[in-house]
Structure 1
């Protein structure tokens, strides 16, 4: 069962029609009692998104793009894993594994696939080329849903190394943000044969003793952001980490419930001028939500929090590691904190703009960061 099987999307029209019926039958909550996002996704914002979803959005366009890229499925450790595999036309391209997070999907990387895999056609050099492997996390998108416990980030990291081995890549690098950063960190700690280095756009580390006892300005900023996250932004994570099943019924049954839950985080975590759709694109936001809706993945995706949130013991990493720090990342970690676990930092850069969804928000900056970082590891 280790063969790699082509995967083509052809969502039956009756599933699209069912989505339309549910959107039409929405029983809306009343308007929030504030004039901001402090109570969650505002009614007017969600109604506007829903109206476009129902009357303007075209799922078939996304379906065609994904099919054209090259989609595959392979069974690893008893679970079918869906992934995009985009080979570069450049023979010397470096294999690159890209891992998304929550509430994202492979859609996060759609804007960077062309420049990374075919740099000559996108203003770059042939020596910057990558072969791309972009899997859907277990329980996300079109990957299968784990039926037993145990699929935390460490196990996913081992599965991803097996995927690269199965694709006959003998030397490769890995990149990730959000849960993808945790998976990629675990890959670095496990140091599987063939992995030449990693890159994260979400540095992961707790504070140093020095930061606690005599904090610098950077330390204080990080502490302030941590406190804001703890006070105002951890509700979703605690719910998904403790009762993903209870939450999942609503996310799987109601497209509006799903959209409201996901869009609030896209808004809060992106570096945007007022609306997440202004930097992410309205169609791409709905493409991403559709991967949760069509896969009925609300509960299974949330379950990764039950498996790993606050439970992952990260190893030290001695492989070469690179970091791109975007200013609106939800939990910043100064380099001095990161050096506690990362013993071989080969690349560190701080960017002028961008947030949690770096590849999606700032594709040109993201591509430049990966080219610069992995040039040191080729």
Structure 2
């Protein structure tokens, strides 16, 4: 029998009507600034346009329903366990297939487990027998969602990766595959590099090369990628500097104001998606509001921001990944690394994809491509590991 500290306990999401009523009241009482001073086609250049925010706040207050998403989480199967004195929340869906492989999916910021809920069933029980099946585990990062908020420093990507190994072991999965993007991609890289005895291989949309890489020999497209990534970090990443240096300060606004939280997160969905203007060209309003409402109800705006304080620019330059890796670089992602750079760290790339569409949130923007790519990529990873 497991000791209490190692126990895995069922968890159910239950939000009171009072909490939802209070959210609507705060939305109705919001004080908004004047409109931005830029217009089409650059109307997002100062952040979320007032008209777009007003429309979404109105929809959030009068039409959006949290209950279907809450019910979906409970239907998939939610659990919690304590690792290093911190409660970790996760979704867990076991496949009915005898040949299924354990898979851990790790989200990033400003995402959440909401990025993966629509794909868990298809990953666990695919439509055809020649498609790999997975026992799917989707944890909430420390300080995110229904995981506990760390009360001291130290919960960076290295510790999170070690905790994921512990989590999978408690579920009976001594060996597994992993996927992630954004912080999830960073953590997946650390998992593969530090724990190759447990990680069969990975699929990632994050494949950071080593510092000081040269542009010599890159194609025109790869040079453009390098320029766009440089531009992002020098001109569009103030949010990361704020959260890496003063997460507590911005945290007061994110926990106290639902409109402030919505604007902070919506700005990233708009800027990082493969769209001409609004993120709602490819992502539903309800799914973005599921994500934002999860942050709001769990009061995790500040605690989630602290992952930047813990781990910004911390990926070990000496870390190498020798397990098989499948990498997908979406054209409108915020960080895109040429294969020549990536393979200096990821030394067994068995599949490299450059799709025509998609941005930083592919599971939401191009959902069918994403799940097919994940299945096909992990199939090649597993074949290479044999």
> TM class by shorter-chain length?
over 0.9
Aligned to 1:307: 310
What does 1:1-378 align with in structure 2 at a 5 Å threshold?
1-35=5-39, 36-120=43-127, 124-125=128-129, 127-206=131-210, 209-211=213-215, 213=216, 215-314=218-317, 315-378=319-382
Contact 2:325–2:350 (8 Å) recurs in 1: yes
Whole-angstrom CA distance in 1 between matches of 2:169 and 2:301: 30
What is the alpha-carbon distance in structure 2 between the residues aligned to residue 353 and residue 157 of structure 1?
A: 30
Q: TM-score, normalised by structure 2?
A: 0.94
Question: How far has the Cα of 1:376 moved from its partner?
Answer: 2.3
- Do 2:185 and 2:206's aligned partners in 1 also have CA atoms closer than 8 Å? yes
- CA shift, 1:217, in A, is 1.4
* 8 Å CA contact 2:218, 2:338 repeated in 1: no
Q: CA deviation at 1:278?
A: 2.6
Paired with 1:214 and 1:173, the residues of 2 have a C-alpha distance of 33
Q: Deviations over 1:236-289 (max 9, x none)?
A: 000000000000000000000000000000011111243212311110000000
Instruction: Tell me if the contact between 1:110 and 1:360 (Cα under 8 Å) persists in the aligned partners.
Output: no
State the secondary structure of the residue aligned to 2:6: coil
- Kindly state the Cα deviation for residue 127 of structure 1 after the two structures are TM-superposed: 4.2
Q: Which runs of 5+ in 2 are unaligned?
A: none
1:37 Cα deviation from its structure 2 partner:
0.4
Deviations, residues 207-260 of structure 1 (Å, cap 9, x unaligned): 66441x565413421232023203321100000000000000000000000000
Q: What's the C-alpha RMSD, in Å, of the aligned pairs? A: 1.4
Structure 1 alignment gaps of length 5 or more? none
